[in-house]
Chain A
C-alpha cells in the first residue's frame, strides 16, 4: 500500500509513514529452497505490481506462471478445467511471499523521499476520535494519534490498517466484524514432484475433509496447500517425510470416496454433454506424482472467515486481511487485498486532486462501496463452495457433480469465471 501511494501522482507532497514490525531485510538472498508461503497472483495484481515497479523485480527473482487449472473431487468423476488458450494469457502466477516482500522493499527504498518506513516499530496504541474510550465525543475530524512502541507519537490525517486478520487498527476503530471459524487448518509444504517438463498446472481436489491443492513453483517443485481438520493437520505434520509423501499422493489419487450411484448418473449426464457440446470434450489430466517433501517446510495455520461490516470510518481505512479474510480454496484472498490497494490509492488520488482532506469520509466511503461490491460476492461464493464440498452426502454430491460437469461444458461461463478471478 505504501509503495502504491508513493507512486501515486497527486500524493507526492504528502508525508507517508509505514510502521513495519519486522526488521529490514537489507541482505536478501534468494534461497535455493522454496518457501512454503506462496501466493497465487492474478493478472490484475500483476498490473498493480507493474505500476509500482515491483513486477520486474519479481520476474528477475522467480515466479511460475499457471497456464492451466484442474479442479475435481473425490466423491465423483466430475472435473473442471480452466485454461485461457485463446488469449494466451497466464491464469495466475505463483510467487513466494518472500519474493514479493523483497521486490516491494526494494521499490520502497527508492521512494525514501516520499515514504518513510520505520522498521521494527509497531503501534502500541491508537487514539481514534469517536472510537477510542475517553475520546468518544471528540470531533471526528480530529487527526488520529498513534503511539509507537518506541514512544514516538505520530498524528495523521489518515490511518490505513493493513495489519492482517487480527488487525489492531480494526479493533481500535471499533469496527464490527463478522467471524466464523472454519474449524480447519491449512497444511502447507514444499513438494518435490516427478519431473515434468512443463509444471504449469494448478491442481485442486476437493475431499470431504477439505480441498488439497498443488501449485507449481518450478519444473521440479510445487507448493502444497491441504485444508483439513485440526487433528488430521497435526497428524500430517508429525508424519515422517516418506509417509507424508504417501499421504499426499493418496489424497490426490484414492478412489475410496467414490459414490457409485452418483457415478452412474453423472456418467450418463456426461455422455449427454459430450453429445451436445461435441467440440468441448472433457480432458482429464493426471497430476504429477509427489516424490519428496522439503524437510522442515511443513507448517499449518487455522482458517476462518472474517469480514468487517465497514471498511472505513472517518480518518481510518482497512485493507486486505484486516478488512476481509477468506478460505484459501480459490486463491482469491491476497488478490482481493491487492485490489483494495489499487482502489484506495486511486480514490486518495482523486481526493487530493479535488483539494479534499485525505481522511475525508466522502472519498473513503467511495473506496468502501467499490470494494464491498467486489469482495462480498467472492466471499459468499467461496463460503458457499466450502460448504458445498465439505460433505459426502449423496444428493449434494450429485448436485455439485452435475453442476460442475455443466459448467465445464460451457466455455463462455468458464471464461467469465476466469475474467472475474483475474480482475
Chain B
C-alpha cells in the first residue's frame, strides 16, 4: 500500500529565509516518495491504546484543544461574510481535514462544533481507536469519517475539496514536509485555510521540547520527537509560500507542566501555531510574498 523505499541523501543545506541563530543541521530530511516514516508508525502503534485517557500520556494533546479549537473556529468564522446561523455550531457546512488525526482528539471537538470532518492517519490502530471512540457519541457519529491514508492519497480524488486542513502536531513527524504541504495545497479550496501547530528548531526547543518534556518531566513518551524534524516558522512559511499559501498568523504557544494548561505567548522558539490561506489562482501570481507576522491578543 505504501512505498517503503526511503532514499537518504546527505546534503549540506542552508536554511532558506531563516534569520534565527540556532543549530544548523548537516542532514536533509530523507526524501521519501510518500510522507510515511516506518519508525514513526511503530512508535504510535504502541501508544494507540492510551489515546483517550485525559490524564495519561496524551494529556498535553487533550489540553491543547482548549487553545487550538477556539483558534481554528474563530479564524474560520471570521473569514465568513455572515455570522454563523447557529451559534452553537459555528463550523456548520465546512469540510475540514484532520491530517494525522491519531486517536481523533481534535476531530471530535471540531465535529461537535458542526464541521464535516475527515481524519486521516497512517497507523491503522489509530484509525481503529478513533472510530471506536467516535461511535460512543451518537451526536457526532455521522459527521466524522476516519480513513487510513496519507494526505497524498487524497489528492487525486479531492482536489479543492476542503475548506480547511488542520495539521496539528504532525509536521514534526513527517519525513517530507514539501510533499505534505503541496498535497495539502491541492486539496484545499482557494481561499481555504491550513492550520499547523508544530515545534521550532532551536536550541531551546531541544532542551525543553525533547530533553525536559521527554526525559525529565515525562510529559510525552521518550522518543516521541526527533529534533532533526523540527522546523522553524520562517522555513515553514517559505515552504507554504512556495505552495501557494499566504501566511496570516504565526504565534507562539507554551505548555505549563504545573498547571497542565497551554497558553498563547509571543515567543515562538518552541511551540507555535501557523495559519495560512490558500491564494486564489489569479492573486497567487501577482501578489508578492506576504510575510506578515501578527501577534494576536489572546484572553484565556
Contacts and interface: CB of A to CB of B under 8 A. Distances in A.
Contact of A12 (B65, B88, B112): B88
Q: Which of A12, A157, A354, A355 counts the most B-chain CB atoms under 10 A from its CB?
A: A355
A352 interface: yes
Given A13-B88, A314-B54, A352-B88, A362 B136 contact: no
Contact of B108 (A12, A352, A357): A357
Interface in B110-143: 110-113, 133, 136-137
Nearest to B56: A140
Interface in A269-321: 314
Given A12-B88, A354-B69, A356-B65, A139 B52 contact: yes
Interface residues of B, number: 23
A257 to B, nearest CB: 50
Contacts of B69: 354-356
Nearest to B114: A355
B62 interface: yes
6 tightest A-B CB contacts, nearest first: A355-B109, A355-B112, A355-B113, A361-B54, A354-B69, A355-B69
B66 to A, nearest CB: 6
Nearest to B54: A361
B94 to A, nearest CB: 13
B66 A354 contact: yes
Contact of B63 (A10, A12, A314, A362): A362
B255 to A, nearest CB: 13
Given A13-B88, A142-B136, 8 more contacts: A10-B87, A140-B53, A141-B133, A141-B136, A354-B69, A354-B109, A362-B65, A362-B66
Interface in A1-25: 9-10, 12-13
Contacts, number: 50
Interface of A: 9-10, 12-13, 139-143, 157, 314, 352-357, 360-362
B70 interface: yes
B55 interface: yes
A132 B25 CA distance: 54
Interface of B: 52-55, 62-63, 65-66, 69-70, 73, 87-89, 108-113, 133, 136-137
A356 B54 contact: no
A364 B133 CA distance: 20
Nearest to B72: A355
Chain B interface main SS type? helix
A349 to B, nearest CB: 11
A13 B112 CA distance: 11
Given A139-B52, A361-B54, A362-B62, A356 B109 contact: yes
A347 to B, nearest CB: 12
Contacts of A362: 54, 62-63, 65-66
A138 to B, nearest CB: 12
Contacts of A352: 88, 112
A361 B111 CA distance: 19
A176 to B, nearest CB: 17
Contacts of A140: 53
Interface centre among A12, A143, A353 (most CB of B within 10 A): A353
A364 to B, nearest CB: 10
16 contacts: A13-B89, A141-B52, A141-B136, A142-B136, A354-B70, A354-B109, A355-B69, A355-B73, A355-B109, A355-B111, A356-B66, A356-B109, A357-B112, A360-B54, A362-B62, A362-B63
A143 B135 CA distance: 12
A157 B136 CA distance: 10
A13 B109 CA distance: 15
Contacts of A141: 52-53, 133, 136
A142 B136 CA distance: 7
A355 B110 CA distance: 6
A357 B136 CA distance: 11
B182 to A, nearest CB: 29
Interface-central residue, A10, A157, A352, A354, by most chain B CB under 10 Å: A354
A288 B112 CA distance: 60
Contacts of B109: 354-356
B136 A10 contact: no
A392 B136 CA distance: 61
